[in-house]
């Protein structure tokens, strides 16, 4: 999997958030987007994921050497962001079963084994609305990292996690993302410590 950015820019009204971003993102080479608060990390992640329209430049997705048309990119993508909402009315088990129906899990995983991986067995039949922020973050990470999608976009992945949750994140990134293209927006060095390549938003003002 490869995503190529050429001279990508985004503006809101007359204000440019970033301009002329060039980057080549590939599987097995996790990349971090770094920068100050408000520098545009989340916006760049959303532009790459197609959730926000770019204002200039081009973004091309290639799978096995073939260009992926825009409308076929979404099924290849899994996303974990602070603004992603879980379905609060569902229990944890219902939520994971529902998610698995339209986005398959990685081979060998199912709703019950994922609940065990998250350490949330006691909350299997609990509605998501009753979850703490850290429990919700574990579910969001599971939905994104453990889905069989080749592109993984993470925005502040360890926010609200306790020490065990942060260990879980690192373990999952090591174990389950080998073949994925991984892009992480973060200012927290411990959550991007394994990323060799960095995109620093300060360079694109
Ligand atoms: N929908 C929008 N309309 C107008 N401005 C926006 C919109 N979304 C984001 N912005 C602006 O774009 C800039 C970049 O925001 P963004 O959330 O991408 O930054 P960030 O680097 O992820 O910040 P943080 O580290 O605080 O999460 C900010 O000035 C923000 O106010």
Q: Which domain holds residue 72?
A: 2-204
Is residue 83 predicted with pLDDT exceeding 90? no
Mean pLDDT of 22-51: 97
How do 2-12 and 56-63 pair as beta strands?
Answer: antiparallel
Instruction: State if residue 40 touches ligand 1 by the CB under 6 angstroms criterion.
Output: yes
Which residue minimizes the CA distance to atom 28 of ligand 1? 38
Q: What is the mean pLDDT of the chain?
A: 97
Count of structural domains within the chain: 1
pLDDT at 113 over 90: yes
| 81 touches ligand 1 (CB under 6 Å) | no
Tokens of 80: 């974990």
DSSP characters over 44-91: HHHHHHTSS--SEEEEEEEETTEEPPGGGTGGGEEEE-TTPPP-TTSB
pLDDT, position 23: 97
Residues 6+ apart with CB under 8 A from 196: 29, 30
The tokens describing 127, both together, are 């509605």
ipTM of the complex: 0.98
CATH number at residue 123: 3.40.50.300
CA-nearest residue for atom 27, ligand 1, is 37
CA-nearest residue for atom 8, ligand 1, is 43
pLDDT tens for 148-204 read: 999 999 999 999 999 999 999 999 999 999 999 999 999 999 999 999 999 999 999
- Between CA 100 and CA 111 the distance in angstroms is 8
């Amino acid at each position: 999997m490869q995503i190529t950015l050429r001279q990508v820019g985004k503006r809101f009204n007359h204000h440019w958030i970033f301009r002329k971003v060039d980057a080549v993102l590939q599987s097995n080479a996790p990349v971090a987007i770094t920068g100050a608060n408000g520098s545009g990390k989340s916006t760049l992640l959303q532009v790459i994921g197609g959730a926000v329209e770019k204002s200039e430049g081009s973004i091309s997705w290639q799978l096995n050497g073939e260009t992926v048309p825009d409308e076929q990119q979404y099924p290849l993508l899994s996303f974990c962001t602070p603004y992603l909402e879980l379905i609060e009315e569902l229990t944890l088990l219902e939520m994971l079963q529902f998610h698995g129906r339209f986005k398959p899990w990685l081979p060998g995983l199912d709703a019950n084994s994922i609940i065990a991986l998250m350490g949330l067995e006691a909350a299997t039949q609990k509605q998501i609305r009753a979850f703490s922020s850290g429990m919700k973050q574990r579910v969001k990470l599971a939905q994104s990292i453990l889905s069989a999608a080749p592109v993984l976009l993470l925005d502040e992945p360890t926010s609200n996690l306790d020490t065990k949750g942060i260990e879980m994140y690192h373990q999952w990134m090591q174990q389950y993302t080998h073949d994925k293209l991984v892009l992480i927006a973060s200012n927290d060095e411990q959550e991007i410590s394994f990323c060799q390549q960095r995109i620093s938003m300060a360079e694109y003002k």
